[in-house]
Amino acid sequence: MARKITIEPVTRVEGHGKVTILLDDKNRVERTRLHIVEFRGFERFVQGRPYWEAPVLVQRLCGICPVSHHLAAAKAMDVIAGVGPEGLSPTAEKMRRLMHYGQMFQSHALHFFHLASPDLLFGADADPAIRNVIGVALYHRELATRGVLLRKFGQEIILATAGKKIHGTGAIPGGINKNLTAEERDSFLKGPAPLDIDTMITWALEAVEFFKDFHRKNKELIDSFAAFPSNHLSLVRKDGGLDFYHGALRAVDTDGRKVLDDVDYADYLKYIGEDIKTWSYMKFPFLRSLGKEDGWYRVGPLARLNCCEFIPTPLAQHEYEIFKAYTGGRPNGMSLHTHWARLIELLHAGEVIKELLNDPDLQKDDLTRKGKKAFEGVGLVEAPRGTLFHHYRIDADDRISMANLIVSTTNNNEPMNRAVNWVALNVIDGQAKITEGMLNRVEIAIRAYDPCLSCATHALGRMPLEIEMIDAEGAIIDKRSR
Ligand code: MG
Ligand code: NI
């Protein structure tokens, strides 16, 4: 008799996900699946709208990552406006970079301090009443305060560059609609932004130290939990450096060999396919050269540090060298090391923000460029959660006739399924009853990938879970929820 366990994350926003674990009559795990109902209407919703509206419209896709969608769409529209992807004025490109690195800063701070740190500080078996951001605020007040202020700093950067914290209109086809005033600059350099960029960088560095210290004390957990080899995909700069805003598309395999050798992302359809499975609305992207079975890959902080060759800021580069040395330079497939990579990126984002703030180009008035119009454009960025693809075609009346998006969370579909499967095989297998600890471990495995299920459902804070054991006749024989 086969039994089925269902774990259902309930969300406050668009999208819905659940995990099912099918057991055989000996309680051995037979199969696990992460099902996600994607917000699918969007690619059709933008059809018929004037192309210049896209960078604003696409922010309705998701309340969590509006800046990422704004910039990916703007980059695609730069191509349609005949200037992109590398023809922007220095002021426009640097303002967009400042916006994007501000978004990365606030998103990574939010994820680590609000979502990930409770799992690390209190452990997977802790009372869920404590194992959340409230628990962090009660027992680790300084850490919680820093989390709030780091995030706020990033949000203020977004406000100053995009015009609004959410649904800003900063980037327009061919450029940007404002520069950074000297007053805005000084608020970030010297405070009160909240506080100043140097304090933010110091705190980011101390967050990396916090993780390394936790890792030293919990090696077994951090190194083994949901660890598995994979391919990795990200944009990299022409010289192989880490870059969140622009670059060529690179993929490496589990031995670090280049599977995609810095190709032009405008040709992504040649290199990336999307498989469809009957049991999930979320597609399964893969590298065509390796095929559907073997071509799946990770994206996000871990994948980015596996694909790049260096980080072009000094403090983050130093931490990158320590990170790389831990695996002897080989690609890192340990899911919980994603938190380490994410904090190195937080530090890097802080350093880049400081460099940009000190660049006088940001106060110049050369904001937009124009060129010969094209009818198709592709725009990619490295969003906080990983590579984000936007692709549009327009008709003779300047209206969008086709839109294709591959969001970061979709790129991580197979890795998240593998992570859940790891928990099923290593924690749940052989157990007859569902425990709180099992639920927590499923949550921790998925959370390492920081899924935005709103872009593909996003549960801020504690991920509400429901788990059911169902026998072959469909009767519920065990049930837990929180
Ligand atoms: Mg799509
Ligand atoms: Ni999102």
- Confidence label for 74 from pLDDT (cuts 50, 70 and 90): very high
Q: How far is CA 256 from CA 62, 231, 233, 307, 371, in A?
A: 33, 8, 11, 8, 39
* Nearest ligand to the CA atom of 408: 2
For 439, the token pair is 């639920």
- Tell me which of 44-48, 387-391, 406-410, 474-478 is least confident: 474-478
Mean pLDDT of the chain: 87
pLDDT of 474 higher than 70: no
Q: What is the pLDDT of residue 5?
A: 60
- In angstroms, what is the span from residue 39 Cα to ligand 1's centroid? 10
- In angstroms, what is the span from residue 248 Cα to ligand 1's centroid? 20
- In angstroms, what is the span from residue 286 Cα to ligand 1's centroid? 13
- In angstroms, what is the span from residue 410 Cα to ligand 1's centroid? 8
- In angstroms, what is the span from residue 454 Cα to ligand 2's centroid? 5
Task: Note residues around ion ligand 2 (Cβ under 5 angstroms).
Answer: 62, 64-65, 452, 454-455
pLDDT of 438 higher than 70: yes
Q: What percent of the chain has pLDDT over 90?
A: 63
Map tokens 């089925």 to a residue. 4
pLDDT tens figures, 329-340: 999 999 999 999
- In angstroms, what is the span from residue 330 Cα to ligand 1's centroid? 31
pLDDT of 197 higher than 80: yes
Of residues 338 and 130, more confidently modeled: 338
pLDDT of 240 higher than 90: yes
- In angstroms, what is the span from residue 26 Cα to ligand 2's centroid? 40
pLDDT of 463 higher than 50: no
- Confidence label for 468 from pLDDT (cuts 50, 70 and 90): low
Q: Give me the residues paired with residue 306 across strands.
A: none
Q: From CA 461, how far away is CA 473, in angstroms rounded?
A: 35
* Nearest ligand to the CA atom of 285: 1
Run of H or E residues at 469: strand 466-470
- In angstroms, what is the span from residue 6 Cα to ligand 2's centroid? 24
- In angstroms, what is the span from residue 135 Cα to ligand 2's centroid? 26
For 278, the token pair is 């009957």
In angstroms, the first-to-last Cα distance of the chain is 28
* Nearest ligand to the CA atom of 404: 1
Mean pLDDT of 177-198: 94
Q: From CA 333, how far away is CA 227, in angstroms rounded?
A: 6
- DSSP string covering 274-328, please? EE--TT-SS-EEEETTTHHHH--EE-SHHHHHHH-SB-SSHHHHHHHHHHHHHTT
> Is the entire prediction scored with pTM above 0.75?
yes
- In angstroms, what is the span from residue 260 Cα to ligand 2's centroid? 26
- Confidence label for 2 from pLDDT (cuts 50, 70 and 90): low
Sign of the Cα pseudo-torsion (184, 189, 195, 198, in order): positive
- Return the DSSP state at 111: I
- In angstroms, what is the span from residue 451 Cα to ligand 2's centroid? 8
- In angstroms, what is the span from residue 164 Cα to ligand 2's centroid? 17
- In angstroms, what is the span from residue 457 Cα to ligand 2's centroid? 8
* Nearest ligand to the CA atom of 268: 1
For 411, the token pair is 């790129």
Q: What is the 3-state secondary structure of 352-397? A: HHHHHHCCHHHHCCCCECCCCCCCEEEEEEEECCEEEEEEEEECCC
Task: Note residues around ion ligand 1 (Cβ under 5 angstroms).
Answer: 405
Q: From CA 365, how far away is CA 464, in angstroms rounded?
A: 48
Q: Which long-range contacts (CB under 8 A, 24 or more apart) does 246-253 make?
A: 246/75, 246/85, 246/86, 246/381, 247/382, 249/380, 249/387, 250/307, 251/287, 251/297, 251/307, 252/306, 252/307, 252/331, 253/290, 253/331
* Nearest ligand to the CA atom of 402: 1
Of residues 343 and 194, more confidently modeled: 343
- In angstroms, what is the span from residue 407 Cα to ligand 2's centroid? 8
- 138: helix, coil or strand? helix
- Confidence label for 461 from pLDDT (cuts 50, 70 and 90): very low
- In angstroms, what is the span from residue 68 Cα to ligand 2's centroid? 8
- In angstroms, what is the span from residue 94 Cα to ligand 1's centroid? 29
For 269, the token pair is 């359809």
Q: From CA 184, how far away is CA 278, in angstroms rounded?
A: 51
- In angstroms, what is the span from residue 453 Cα to ligand 2's centroid? 7
pLDDT of 420 higher than 80: yes
Q: At what angle do helices 141-162 and 182-190 cross, to 10 degrees?
A: 170
Beta strands at 3-7 and 466-470: parallel, antiparallel or unpaired: antiparallel
Q: What is the pLDDT of residue 467?
A: 56
Q: What is the pLDDT of residue 432?
A: 67
Rounded to 5°, the CA angle 65-32-431 comes to 120
* Nearest ligand to the CA atom of 63: 2
Q: How far is CA 221 from CA 119, 275, 395, in A?
A: 12, 33, 54
What is the Cα 361 distance to its own chain's centre? 29
| Nearest CA-CA partner of 174 in 81, 71, 56, 52 | 81
Mean pLDDT of 24-50: 76
The residue extents of the domains of the chain are 3-39+412-481, 42-181+227-411
- In angstroms, what is the span from residue 391 Cα to ligand 1's centroid? 9
Q: What is the pLDDT of residue 459?
A: 38
- In angstroms, what is the span from residue 426 Cα to ligand 2's centroid? 30
pLDDT of 11 higher than 50: no
For 256, the token pair is 């670090």
Q: How far is CA 378 from CA 72, 76, 222, 374, 402, in A?
A: 8, 4, 37, 11, 12
- In angstroms, what is the span from residue 265 Cα to ligand 1's centroid? 16
CATH topology (fold) of 42-181+227-411: Cytochrome-c3 Hydrogenase; chain B (1.10.645)
- In angstroms, what is the span from residue 65 Cα to ligand 2's centroid? 4
- Confidence label for 14 from pLDDT (cuts 50, 70 and 90): very low
For 329, the token pair is 């330079």
- In angstroms, what is the span from residue 405 Cα to ligand 1's centroid? 4
Q: From CA 269, how far away is CA 272, in angstroms rounded?
A: 5
Q: What is the pLDDT of residue 21?
A: 75
- In angstroms, what is the span from residue 94 Cα to ligand 2's centroid? 23
* Nearest ligand to the CA atom of 384: 2
Q: Give me the residues paired with residue 23 across strands.
A: 3, 29
Q: From CA 248, how far away is CA 301, in angstroms rounded?
A: 17
* Nearest ligand to the CA atom of 68: 2
* Nearest ligand to the CA atom of 282: 1
- In angstroms, what is the span from residue 470 Cα to ligand 2's centroid? 32
pLDDT of 121 higher than 60: yes
Of residues 110 and 28, more confidently modeled: 110
* Nearest ligand to the CA atom of 166: 2
Q: From CA 294, how far away is CA 184, in angstroms rounded?
A: 49
